[in-house]
Amino acid sequence: MMQTLLRGLCVVVLFWGYIKASADFDCRRTSQTCVTGTCDDVSGSCVCPTDAGGSPSHTNKDCGLELAKVASPATLCDPPCLNGGQCFEPTADTYMCMCSEAFYGSQCENPRKQVECSGDQITINYMPIPTFSGDIFILDNRNTPECAFTEANGMYTATFTYQQCGVITTNDQPNVGDTSYQTSAAVRFNANIERGTDMKLTAECVIDGSGQSNLNNNIGTVSVDQRSNLTEETALTQYQPVSFQLQGKNGNPMPVPVNLGDELRIYIPLADTGKYTKLKITDLTTNNGMAAPDMVTETLIFNGCLTDIGEALVTGDISSDPAIPAIIINFMAFRLRGSPQVKFEAKVKVCEAADTSCEPGSCPTPAPPAPVQPTPSENPGRKRRAASDNEVILHETLTVLDPRSNEKLRLPHNKSDKKSQQNADPQQCLQSTEIMVMVIVLIVAVVLLLVITTCLAVKFMKQRAAQVKIYNSDMPTGNNTVRIPHSAF
């Protein structure tokens, strides 16, 4: 009976992150695009086109609903559309519901995020917007089998007990006698790339004193990990006519730490302006700094053009500063699966005045898919591709933190890479600093304790000496002899 009372359906409506448009739809994601109009790289919202008179011609999250097809009155949809869905007429005398991004179903009756709370376990359901090609997992339990999500007909589901998967149990919350169970899941919209446009779903089941299940609608604060960001390595060919710089927005200093979604830019200036006058980036790849088989590699620029992944990660187009000259690539901080490290490799061509091979060429629209990267056979930090006389291969490394996760920052470590052994893990550095501070504090405390002990000992000795002196003042001194009479028998 109690088990029956405890069962209830709760709706997860919470997320936390850098989402500036909608939790469920953001046109900056690789799997979500605008049907018409353009994508705002700052907000993640679609900017719908207008007609000749300047009025919007399309609506909905992806600008996929033509306003001329919106049904009037809305009651033409029977049964009616729910949860803000719009009734429209795709073909003559056929009426359907166009749902908002947070709902789905023929009437928009189903929320995309749900959680079922029972007396001993929690079930999280999430129906992403098609076409979803990413990954969903419980935070800090990505590789834990009992915490894994399974997919069926587009619905992702995970079920586990309140004692598993890092579920946080809080007694007497929100009221005395209640028990709260909270857990969080990460939704990565690209299985290999972590970005600020990803989501964090937070579900909380509350079992109150009466034995009823319900959802807490309050979102807790998420502390940001303030460990410092590292820009560890700049590896160039021996001759350096250009350099690779990672900068903050508009060329400002890098933020510390760098978090997912921070606005950054790659700045590649021409250093040797005496011989060369132009430059062009031909290829840009990134990897997670790990060795095979855990290495993940993505190509952002290929043959001078942005790939489909590049289009999703790069803000705007590849730009240049002809006054320097320099190449500028704006992007929002991301990282690849399995590591907070993001290692960049850029192949840049430099040209003299008469050389036309650095002139910008035409790129196909839409952007082509990124070429498939071969499985690496050696550490990527040691690998060097051949470059011609007027080409330079540049490397740079960035560490990106996810403030929505409690995961520890651990950089990849490969025994075959001597340089990676020399570069200290920032978490270890941080821990070493904290340990040193604690050691210094303990040393100071011990010294103070010794000083106090010494002072007390000296004081005690002085007092003891004074007592002995007073006692000895009544005793014979010098050559005086103390005679003890013999007893007469």
Residue 263 three-state SS: strand
Domain map (residue ranges) of the chain: 1-18+112-222, 234-430
- CA–CA distance, 305 with 42 (Å, rounded to integer): 22
pLDDT of residue 376: 53
397, β-bridge pairs: 343
Average pLDDT of the chain?
Answer: 77
User: How much is the pLDDT for 432?
Assistant: 56
User: Residues 144-182: pLDDT tens digits?
Assistant: 999 999 999 999 999 999 999 999 999 888 888 888 889
Tokens of 54: 């300047």
The CA-atom distances, in angstroms, between 53 and each of 49, 57, 172, 237, 406 are 11, 10, 60, 56, 51
Residues 233/398, Cβ–Cβ less than 8 Å: no
Is 234-430 the same fold as 1-18+112-222? Answer: yes
Asked whether residue 428 carries a pLDDT value surpassing 70, the answer given is no
Nearest Cα neighbor of 138 from 100, 177, 168 is 168
Q: What is the CATH number of domain 234-430?
A: 2.60.40.4100
Q: Kindly tell me if the per-residue pLDDT of 237 is higher than 60.
A: no
Answering whether pTM is above 0.85, one says no
Average pLDDT for residues 280-299, to the nearest whole number?
Answer: 93
What string of DSSP letters covers 431-460?
A: HHHHHHHHHHHHHHHHHHHHHHHHHHHHHH
At 373 the pLDDT is 63
Calculate what percentage of the chain has a pLDDT beyond 90: 36
Which residue, chain included where needed, has tokens 């690496």?
376
- Closest by Cα among 100, 115, 93 to 60: 100
Q: Is the predicted pLDDT of residue 211 greater than 80, yes or no?
A: no
Q: What kind of fold does domain 1-18+112-222 have according to CATH?
A: Immunoglobulin-like (2.60.40)
What are the tens digits of pLDDT across the range 432-479? 566 777 888 889 989 988 989 988 888 888 887 776 555 555 545 444
In 3D, which of 220, 254, 221, 202 has the Cα closest to residue 401?
254
